[in-house]
Structure 1
Amino acid sequence: MTQDIPNPASKTEDKYAWVYLINLVFYFIPYFIIDMPQWQILLSLAALAPFIYCYFWAYRSNSSRAHLPILAMIAIAIAVTPINTGSLSLFTFAAFFIGFFYPLQKAALALISLIGVLALLNLSLNFDHYYWVIYGAGLIAGVGLFGVIERRRIENLCKQQKSQQEIHQLATMLERERIARDLHDIMGHSLSSISLKAELAEKLLAKNDIEQAQQQLSELNSIARDSLSQIRQTVSGYKHKGLAASVTNLCQTLRDKGLSVQLEGDIPNLSSDLETHLILSLTELCNNVIRHSQAQECSLSFSQNEQQIIIQITDNGQLDNLEQGNGLKGIRERLQQFQGTLSWDLSQQCQFTIRLPQSGMPQR
């Protein structure tokens, strides 16, 4: 193995582990077509407890330790076969994990060996036909192939996440370089001038030329004030990236939380103050979608007419009622400063609507 493969499901998918156990329904088929003694039924049912334990053990293992739960599942399936031929379903679970955790060649050999185990069981138990082996071989090969496909999917997902992390790190490095370059451009000349003026004022004071020294100190004070103003403007620019960039970040945050996000309409050009308050309001609403709505889909739409700008956040979550907490009150207070309003409709979907007058648009 060149790398360790994680468990077959991410944290967001782990809740579906129980759902996959529905395949155990085939384990119970012999109960309805064969007249089995009660002790066989009870014994085969009792075997499910350790098997399910081994299933979750394998489900949360990685490739370096997966052989232990896989072998345990195979051992339980072999032990159950004499009393319940529905054990084929147990073998298929082991086949999936074999296909998932091991490279193709090694997995193929393991699956062939598992089919050989079925053939040996068929001979040792004196089954009257080979349908059990043929059917089991098909299931093991098919489910094992599904495990291989799932492995490839997880590997591609990991590569995409790694690529996104590398892009993010590169963007961070470029942003740091830009900040360093901006600060150097702003402060380099200013600090040189301040140093020169201070040195000149010191020499003038030594010569008792008070008037010229005061002039140099006055110019030094003016340079320092201008530099401070430029720094404040630069830092303010870093903090405020604009509505379009903030909306893009909010959409990505929603997608990272597992929601399907759709952005509609053109993002308007607003005054700086209104943009800041609108960004805070949209951030609060998107955080509410993540925390409270339990939605799978969300859309952000921007539209406008001659009188107003309309911004809507809609998700398919279900809320019977909504209590107006500090977050919604804060949004309304922010919007009221610009004659804006916030409303919501929970009748079919969760829809929050922000309306702003066109006066919020900057003058051209």
Structure 2
Amino acid sequence: MHNINIATDTKQRSTEDKLAWIYLVNLVFYLIPLFINDKSAWEIVLALLTLIPFIYCYFWAYRSPSDKAIYPILAMIMLGIAITPINTGSLSLFTFAGFFIGFYYPLRSAFISLLGFVALLATLTFLLGINHYYFIVYGGLLIGGVGLFGVAERKRVEAKCREQQSKAEISQLATMLERERIARDLHDIMGHNLSSISLKAELAEKLLDKNHYEQAKEQLKELNAIARESLSQVRETVSGYKHKGLASSVMSLCQTLRDKGVSVSLEGNIPQLGPELETHVILSLTELCNNILRHSQADHCSLIFGESADEISISITDNGQITHIIEGNGLKGIRERLKAFQGKLDYVVDQQCRFTITFPAQES
């Protein structure tokens, strides 16, 4: 199963984070038993304090990849077990853990885990002498229902990821077709013009050998005119290609990495940049991706685009075997390119290697 989390892309992350806070309204069912039962002040305070680490674990689980989600889920379950002797509203805490189990794990594993949850509720009922069986019956039904909702939400997110991947593949195909068109245009322009240049240069050489200086001079003028026209046409064609932009180049780089056996995940919205900055960002990303292929021995890479009101960032993270970095001409060249736009390049080498390009957000 691929690593997934609930906030799947940067564009939706703000909305999803707001919803995450709204979902916490279900904690009202955790608070109700504190006020309808006869609880001492210290029990109420302890139950309220338990919410602090629980909410931390909730957002930890919310933002975890599937292979790491077990830790916050277990932490939420342990908090629920610990507070149950004081507050049977802990069922509310268990339902959040049940949701994440359904969301992060395959149906079979989720079903077995939710059955284990019911067994846990039964054990707590008998060990603590809880005298109302709603803790088992109602709690089991509630956790099972919320867990199934988590399964449904996982299916929705996976379908959305497949849809986004399909769109990316279509965009990539369009990029390949556009590149073929550019190559064909360049060939048509340069093929004819270079042939003309070659012929006129050869003719001018022969005229000079025969001391026909005026005729040779005329041929050289025509040769110069053809060369200037060719340069202008090439600039127009390449300029049009560059300005198509960053998105096409990123898709091409991702495909190059995949072709070399490196899986790639792409997060965030690719920003709209001015033509000159866009060109330098494309060159910088190309250099960083080439470094991954040449030096890192990585098998996974993440490209993350972030944008705030003041700053745009692009991070490339790989799981390669690099323990330290010696800056060569490539990284120095990136710094020089970005410096002209008040940008910078930073990197961190830990368990993973992460390069981050940042530069000020451009005015619309």
Instruction: State the TM bucket, normalised to the shorter chain.
Output: 0.5 to 0.7
Unaligned runs of 5+ in 2: 245-268, 271-307, 311-362
Contact 1:204 1:213 (8 Å CA) reproduced: yes
Distance, in Å, in 2 between the alignment partners of 1:63 and 1:207 is: 81
TM-score computed with the length of structure 1 as normaliser? 0.61
Q: Which residue of 2 aligns with 1:50?
A: 53
Letter in 1 for 2:89: G
C-alpha displacement of 1:211: 4.7
Which residue matches 2:279?
Answer: none
Residue in structure 1 matched with residue 140 of structure 2 by the alignment: 137
Does 2:61 correspond to 1:64? Answer: no
Q: Which residue of 2 aligns with 1:121?
A: 124
1:31 to 34, 45, 51: 34
Structure 1 residues 78 and 229: alpha-carbon distance in aligned structure 2, compared to 1, 3 A threshold? closer
Task: Report the alpha carbon displacement of residue 184 of structure 1 after superposing the two structures with TM.
Answer: 0.9
Asked if the contact 2:29/2:89 (under 8 Å) is kept, the reply is: yes
Question: What percent of counterpart residues are identical?
Answer: 64
Q: Is the contact made by 1:197 and 1:216 (CA closer than 8 Å) also made in structure 2? A: yes
2:111 pairs, out of 108, 113, 125, with: 108
SS in 2 for 1:186: helix
Q: Please give the residue correspondences for 1:58-207 in structure 2 after superposition, counting only pairs within 5 Å.
A: 58-207=61-210
Deviation at 1:88, TM superposition (A): 0.6
Match runs of 1:214-233 below 5 Å: 214-224=217-227, 226-228=229-231, 230-231=233-234
Letter of the structure 1 residue corresponding to residue 180 of structure 2? E
Aligned to 1:5: 4
Give, as a single letter, the amino acid of the residue that structure 2 aligns with 1:118.
L
Q: Tell me by how many angstroms 1:221 deviates.
A: 4.1
- What is the Cα deviation at residue 236 of structure 1? 7.2
The answer to which of 123-132 and 76-85 deviates more is 123-132
Structure 1 residue 228, shift from structure 2 partner: 4.8
Change (3 A) 1:18 1:175: same
Q: Which moved more, 1:4-13 or 1:33-42?
A: 4-13
CA 1:146/1:234 → structure 2, altered by over 3 Å: closer, same or farther? same
Which amino acid letter does the alignment assign opposite residue 130 of structure 1?
Y
Name the TM-score, length of structure 2 as normaliser: 0.61
Instruction: Check conservation: 2:5, 2:62, Cα contact below 8 A.
Output: no
Change (3 A) 1:128 1:234: closer
Asked if 2 retains the 8 angstrom alpha-carbon contact of 1:201 and 1:213, the reply is yes
Q: Find the counterpart in structure 2 of residue 349 from structure 1.
A: none
3-state SS in 1 of match to 2:130: coil
Kindly provide the amino acid, as one letter, of the partner of residue 4 in structure 1.
N
Equivalent pair of 2:6/2:157 in contact (CA under 8 Å): no
- State which structure, 1 or 2, has the greater radius of gyration over its C-alpha atoms: 1
Give, in angstroms, the shift of residue 109 of structure 1.
Answer: 0.5
Q: Which residue of 1 aligns with 2:213?
A: 210
Pairs aligned (count): 248
Q: 1:53 to 1:232 in 2, by over 3 A?
A: closer
Paired AA for residue 5 in structure 1 = I
* Maintained 8 Å contact 1:96/1:147: yes
Per-residue deviation at 1:222? 4.7
**What do the CA deviations read for 1:306-326 (whole angstroms, capped 9, x no partner)?**
xxxxxxxxxxxxxxxxxxxxx
Runs of 4+ aligned structure 1 residues displaced above 6 Å come to: none
Cα distance in 1 for partners of 2:151, 2:132 equals 30
**Rounded Cα–Cα distance in structure 2 between residues aligned with 1:106 and 1:95:** 12
* Deviations, residues 183-204 of structure 1 (Å, cap 9, x unaligned): 1101111111111111111012
> 8 Å contact 1:8–1:150 — kept in the other structure?
no
- Taking the aligned partners of 2:8 and 2:231, their CA distance within structure 1 comes to 53
Cα distance in 1 between the residues matched to 2:2 and 2:232: 53
Q: Aligned-pair distance for 1:212?
A: 4.0
User: Displacement of 1:93 after TM fit?
Assistant: 0.6
Q: Say if 1:232 and 1:39 are closer, same or farther in 2 by CA, change over 3 A.
A: closer
Give the superposition deviation at 1:24.
Answer: 0.2
SS of equivalent residue, structure 1 residue 63: coil
SS at match of 1:47: helix
Deviation per residue, 1:265-314 (Å, 9 max, x gap): xxxxxxxxxxxxxxxxxxxxxxxxx979xxxxxxxxxxxxxxxxxxxxxx
Gaps of 5+ in 1: 242-255, 258-289, 293-326, 329-364
- Aligned partners of 1:24 and 1:55: how far apart in 2? 12
Q: 1:204 to 1:150 in 2, by over 3 A?
A: same
3-state SS of the aligned residue for 2:39? coil
Deviations along 1:248-278, whole A, 9 cap, x unmatched? xxxxxxxx69xxxxxxxxxxxxxxxxxxxxx
